[in-house]
Structure formats: C-alpha cells, structure tokens
C-alpha cells in the first residue's frame, strides 16, 4: 500500500494527504483522478476511519464498479461491504431502509405513464418532466400551467402505484433528511467522510444532498474537472464547481496539472481549444510524453468520412494498406481505437461502412442492444429451485448467447446478492438492471473498435481517437439555445480521450434534417494552432481554395 502512495506525484500527494475537512480537487484529463480518489480512501482507512463510515459517490455504474474493484484489491474488504455507489443507488439504499415498500419506475414505465396521459412524444416528455422536477426543486417558478398540470398528473400516477422514478430517489431522500433532524443526525454520524467523483456533473439537488450529509463536521473530498462539464442540459452546470467556496467557506481547493495520458501535441492542442472558453477556472496542463499526432481531415460527405476512418484503421492495424505504403505496425489493438461523434444520428453512416469491412467494431447505445433484451428476459423468470442467483444469471446468459464480458459483469453483480437468499436477492438484482445501461455492461476486454457519442466516452481513454463530424451545426450542435462553451467542452472531452493520435474529421456536405447541406468546418478547428496539426484531404478535388477560405491554409 505504501508503494501505492509512493507512485503519486507531489500535487496528487498534497490532495490525498490534505488535512482539510473539505477538499476540492481540480483534476484535468489524464491527471490520475480515480487514482487520487482511491488513494484518499486508503489514506482515510490508514487514519483509522472505519470503511463503513466512508461513502464514495459516483455518477455512473461503470465508475462505481471500477472504484469498488480498485479499492477492494488494495484493501482486505469484500466489494459489497464498501459504500461505493452512484448517487441514485445511495439514495435507494437510504429510502429502502427508511421508507420501505415502493416500486422503482423505470424509464419505460415513465414513457408508458406519459403515453397514457396523452403526451405526443413521451420520450422527450421524460426529459421535460425530469428537468422540471429538478428546476422546481430550487425555486424555479416560470413553469407554464400546462407543464405544472402534466407534472402533477404524472406524479399522481406514480403515487397511486407506489412508484418512485429516478429523480424521486434523490428528491425524496433530501426531503426525508430535511424533515427529520434526528434521522439526518443518524446519517451524519454514519457517513463521516464523503468522496465525490466527477464533481462537475453535480446538479443542484445532488449538491444539496451532499451538503446535508456533510453538515458542519463531516469530511468532503470532491474531485472533478469543470472543463469536462457536459451535462448542462440535465441541470448539471459549472455552478456546483464555481460556488464550492460559497457552500464550503473553509475548503481547500487544489489543482492537479500533469496529464499522464495524452502525448504533448494532443495536450497542447486540447488546451488551445478549451482556452477560448470564458467561463472557466484557468489553469495550465503539463504533459510528460513527447510526440502525439493531430490530424485534421477534410472529407466530401459522411460516407467518405466513414471510408477514410475504416481505411485509416486498416492502415494503423497493419492491413493491406500498410504493406503497400511500407508503414510499420504500431502495435495497437482494435480496442485501442475509438470513433466518437456528437449525435447518434451520425452512427448510421458509420455503421454502414463498418458493416461492410472486416474490422471488429462495437456501437455503444444501439437500441436493439442484446443487454436490454436479456434484462427483459430475466424479469420473466421465476427463481424456483435455484440456490445461487449468480448461477441462474450465468445459465440464462449463456442460454441467451450474451458475450463473455457482459455475462461476467452480471454474474459478478449477482454474486453480491447471493448472501441475501435467492427472493430478496433477485429483487435487488432487478433494481440493478433498472439502473443499468448498455454502456455499463459493454465488454471492455473485447478487442473491437468502439463507436459511441462523446458523452459516452467521458472517463475512457484510447490510443487513437477519430472525432467524426467536426462541422458547424454538428459540433457545435445547432440547437435553439446552443451553449457554445459546452459544445467546446465536448470537443475537449473528445480530444483528451486520445493518448497518441487524434483525428478531427469534417465534411464539405452532409445529410442533415433530411436534406444534403453544405457544412462548413467547425469553428473550433480555427482555434487549433496550425503548427500542431497535419492537414489531410480524402478527395483529389480542388478543395484547397475552400480550406484557404476557412483559414486552414496560408
């Protein structure tokens, strides 16, 4: 364990060993955020804090699972005894204990309710309801009468059925703790140290929940990167970060400044992009590795873009192309490569190209994901005559032909509940399925190129990243109320996933909203110093003039 601490740099140590009750760590991409969080956990244990008194909160199942595994391999505590959870699961635990019987309303359940209430677009309605609930929470009073009416009808339906939706888990927990000071005190005594990951993603209710639990004596260790705040549209904006000092006047605010992930040219390029934002905590990021490649590629249209990516992957992986060009193999696996895009609508063109070549690939977030059908299948099973839940899951997963990685993850999750006796265990497992999304279970070990939205890629890293659709209208995405700074942060997140190579691809035209349009390159490309990038064109057409127009060439 001492070895583990020795591996930390000066800034990381300063954060990990800080004696302040309240600590906020600004952690740029690749600066060892999870490592620091895990180290803080170990440090608290070393200071004789009981593991059960530490609560670590993350936003995603993926992050909580990763942290749980990392802590439990370093400490002699079995994973299920550690309070490392998503916000929602933490609240679910509190409400199960304090409120008892209620049913979770899944996203599909929400859609069904809204459909029965006569909503035209129930999927979008789910988001509206969620936004409204969270806005009303902090005193937003501009909701229209129709909105309030819909919300009250929806809420009535939930209440009639004894259901809570995902937002309710947070909101009801806050209400419960605020209305019952004795209970609040109990939880403050139980959870004396709180660790929060990806703090930039915190929304006002979550921020309030943390403040409630921390109180005047609790310890808080929050870590995140305001430059990677990309969930504004869900109510998670920079305020949580920028107002930290107001919420916690005696906080220590520390900064990490070394990016261990990306090569120098990529770090410089990403900095030059993000520096154009005005709403940010300024900071310098150092890189420790020389080199890195940044390529800006002009394509004719989205088909051409996809074909370029596929050809480039074949070349990188040492296919036929590399033999003809004499390029050496660079020793990458397919899983070292990712194709990122702003909108899911872009994946059709990419799927079309990938499906016709021999490159193994995987698209995260496909609607007909096998995970979802497996989850539905499991709900129909009665656990008669099964002694271990994990055995049941394994058997069914093999029967359904799930891939090995997903099967292992689900079995691992189920094994937490084997001790609870198959009914209770199964109920808890079903709740887990409700919280799980395809991206939680995707087999990271599988050697495939990963295609996904930029949002999904946060927290991941790859040797080579292709960013498709760096066009005006797409990145930045044209919306009624486009937040340019948030769009720039999205590009920043995408770029900083790359360790060695990053490709920014834009097209001259592309099909958008049902028609082929001229699409200028993203304005963000102008923010990149030309000496850091290599310009490429896929077509032999006379495109130089256009590039000149957009200031890409002298």
Partner DNA sequence: AGGTCGGATATTTTT
Partner DNA sequence: TATCCGACCT
Q: Which is nearer to DNA, 231 or 462 (by Cβ)? A: 231
89 interacts with DNA by CB under 7 A: yes
509 interacts with DNA by CB under 7 A: no
Member of 312, 440, 472, 485 binding DNA (CB under 7 A): 440
Q: Is 535 helix (H, G, I), strand (E, B) or coil?
A: strand
CB of residue 202 to DNA, shortest distance in Å: 7
Give the closest residue to 346 by CA, choosing from 301, 297, 283. 301
Q: Which is nearer to DNA, 316 or 442 (by Cβ)? A: 442
Q: Is 264 helix (H, G, I), strand (E, B) or coil?
A: helix
Q: Cis peptide leading into 541, omega within 30 of 0?
A: no
Q: What angle do CA 358, 360, 364 make, to 5 degrees?
A: 135
Distance CA 520, CA 534 (A): 19
Q: Which is nearer to DNA, 138 or 327 (by Cβ)? A: 138
Q: Which stretch binds DNA (CB under 7 A): 38-46, 384-392, 396-404, 436-444?
A: 436-444
Site for DNA in 458-487 (CB under 7 A): 458, 477-480
86 interacts with DNA by CB under 7 A: yes
Distance CA 287, CA 150 (A): 51
59 interacts with DNA by CB under 7 A: yes
192 interacts with DNA by CB under 7 A: no
Size of the site for DNA (CB under 7 A): 46
Distance CA 445, CA 335 (A): 8
345 interacts with DNA by CB under 7 A: yes
Q: Which stretch binds DNA (CB under 7 A): 153-161, 260-268, 494-502, 511-519?
A: 511-519
Asked if 532 and 510 count as a contact pair (C-beta separation under 8 A), the reply is no
Give the closest residue to 259 by CA, choosing from 524, 517, 536, 12. 12
Q: Which stretch binds DNA (CB under 7 A): 144-152, 226-234, 279-287, 322-330?
A: 226-234
CB of residue 46 to DNA, shortest distance in Å: 29
Residue 14 neighbours by CB distance under 10 Å: 17
Q: Which is nearer to DNA, 3 or 120 (by Cβ)? A: 120
Give the closest residue to 147 by CA, choosing from 166, 165, 128. 128
Distance CA 340, CA 346 (A): 10
CB of residue 63 to DNA, shortest distance in Å: 8
173 interacts with DNA by CB under 7 A: no
348 interacts with DNA by CB under 7 A: yes
233 interacts with DNA by CB under 7 A: yes
115 interacts with DNA by CB under 7 A: yes
Member of 81, 121, 152, 373 binding DNA (CB under 7 A): 121
509-512 and 515-518 strand pairing: antiparallel
Distance CA 363, CA 381 (A): 29
Contacts of 101 (CB under 8 A, 6+ apart): 162
Give the closest residue to 407 by CA, choosing from 388, 421, 391, 418. 391
CB of residue 483 to DNA, shortest distance in Å: 8
Asked if 224 and 201 count as a contact pair (C-beta separation under 8 A), the reply is yes
344 interacts with DNA by CB under 7 A: yes
Asked if 126 and 475 count as a contact pair (C-beta separation under 8 A), the reply is no
Distance CA 214, CA 102 (A): 27
365 interacts with DNA by CB under 7 A: yes
Asked if 87 and 206 count as a contact pair (C-beta separation under 8 A), the reply is yes
Q: Which is nearer to DNA, 42 or 449 (by Cβ)? A: 449
Q: Which is nearer to DNA, 69 or 257 (by Cβ)? A: 69
Give the closest residue to 471 by CA, choosing from 351, 341, 345. 341
CB of residue 451 to DNA, shortest distance in Å: 11
441 interacts with DNA by CB under 7 A: no
| 227 secondary structure, DSSP code | G
Member of 62, 68, 413, 508 binding DNA (CB under 7 A): 62
Distance CA 362, CA 364 (A): 6
343 interacts with DNA by CB under 7 A: yes
508 interacts with DNA by CB under 7 A: no
Member of 98, 136, 435, 509 binding DNA (CB under 7 A): 435
CB of residue 66 to DNA, shortest distance in Å: 11
Residues that bind DNA (CB under 7 A): 59-62, 86, 88-89, 107, 115, 120-121, 124, 127, 166-167, 198, 201, 203, 231, 233-234, 236, 342-345, 348, 365, 367, 435-437, 439-440, 453, 455-456, 458, 477-480, 511, 513-515
């Amino acid at each position: 364990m001492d070895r583990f601490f020795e591996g930390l740099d000066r800034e990381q140590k300063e954060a990990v060993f800080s004696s302040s009750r309240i600590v906020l760590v600004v952690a740029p991409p690749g600066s060892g955020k999870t490592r620091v969080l895990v180290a803080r956990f170990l440090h608290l244990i070393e200071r004789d804090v009981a593991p059960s008194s530490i609560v670590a909160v993350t936003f995603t199942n993926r992050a909580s699972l990763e942290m749980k595994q990392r802590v439990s391999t370093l400490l002699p505590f079995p994973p299920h005894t550690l309070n490392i959870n998503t916000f929602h699961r933490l609240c679910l635990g509190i409400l199960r204990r304090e409120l008892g019987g209620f049913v979770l309303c899944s996203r599909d359940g929400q859609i069904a309710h809204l459909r029965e209430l006569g909503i035209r677009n129930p999927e979008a309605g789910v988001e509206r309801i969620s936004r409204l609930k969270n806005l009303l929470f902090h005193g937003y009073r501009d909701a229209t009468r129709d909105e309030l009416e819909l919300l009250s009808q929806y809420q009535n339906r939930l209440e009639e059925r004894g259901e809570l939706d995902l937002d309710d888990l947070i909101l009801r927990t806050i209400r419960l703790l605020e209305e019952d000071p004795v209970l609040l005190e109990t939880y403050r005594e139980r959870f004396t140290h709180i660790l929060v990951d990806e703090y930039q993603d915190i929304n006002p209710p979550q921020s309030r929940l943390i403040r409630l639990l921390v109180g005047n004596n609790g310890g808080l260790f929050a870590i995140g990167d305001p430059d990677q705040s990309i969930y504004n549209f869900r109510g998670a904006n920079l305020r949580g970060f920028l107002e930290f000092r107001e919420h916690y006047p005696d906080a220590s605010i520390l900064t990490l400044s070394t990016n261990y992930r990306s090569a120098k040219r990529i770090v410089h390029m990403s900095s030059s992009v993000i520096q154009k934002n005005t709403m940010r905590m300024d900071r310098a990021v150092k890189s420790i590795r020389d080199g890195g490649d940044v390529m800006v590629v002009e394509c004719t249209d989205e088909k051409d873009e996809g074909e370029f990516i596929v050809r480039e992957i074949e070349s990188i992986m040492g296919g036929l192309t590399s033999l003809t060009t004499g390029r050496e193999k660079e020793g990458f696996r397919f899983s070292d490569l990712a194709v990122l895009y702003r909108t899911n609508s872009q994946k059709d063109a990419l799927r079309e190209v990938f499906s016709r070549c021999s490159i193994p690939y995987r698209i995260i977030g496909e609607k007909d994901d096998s995970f979802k059908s497996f989850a539905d299948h499991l709900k129909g099973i009665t656990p008669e005559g099964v002694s271990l839940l994990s055995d049941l899951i394994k058997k069914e997963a093999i029967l359904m032909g799930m891939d090995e990685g997903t099967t292992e993850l689900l079995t691992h999750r189920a094994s937490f509940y084997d001790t609870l006796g198959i009914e209770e265990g199964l109920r808890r497992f079903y709740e887990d399925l409700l919280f799980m999304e395809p991206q939680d279970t995707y087999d990271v070990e599988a050697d495939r190129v990963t295609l996904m939205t930029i949002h999904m890629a946060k927290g991941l890293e790859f040797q080579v990243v292709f960013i498709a659709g760096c066009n005006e209208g797409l990145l930045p995405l044209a919306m009624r109320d486009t937040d340019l700074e948030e769009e720039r942060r999205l590009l920043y997140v995408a770029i900083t996933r790359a360790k060695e190579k990053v490709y920014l691809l834009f097209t001259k035209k592309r099909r958008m909203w049902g028609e082929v349009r001229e699409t200028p390159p993203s304005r963000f490309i102008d923010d990149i110093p030309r000496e850091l990038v290599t310009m490429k064109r896929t077509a032999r057409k006379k495109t130089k003039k256009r590039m000149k127009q957009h200031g890409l060439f002298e």
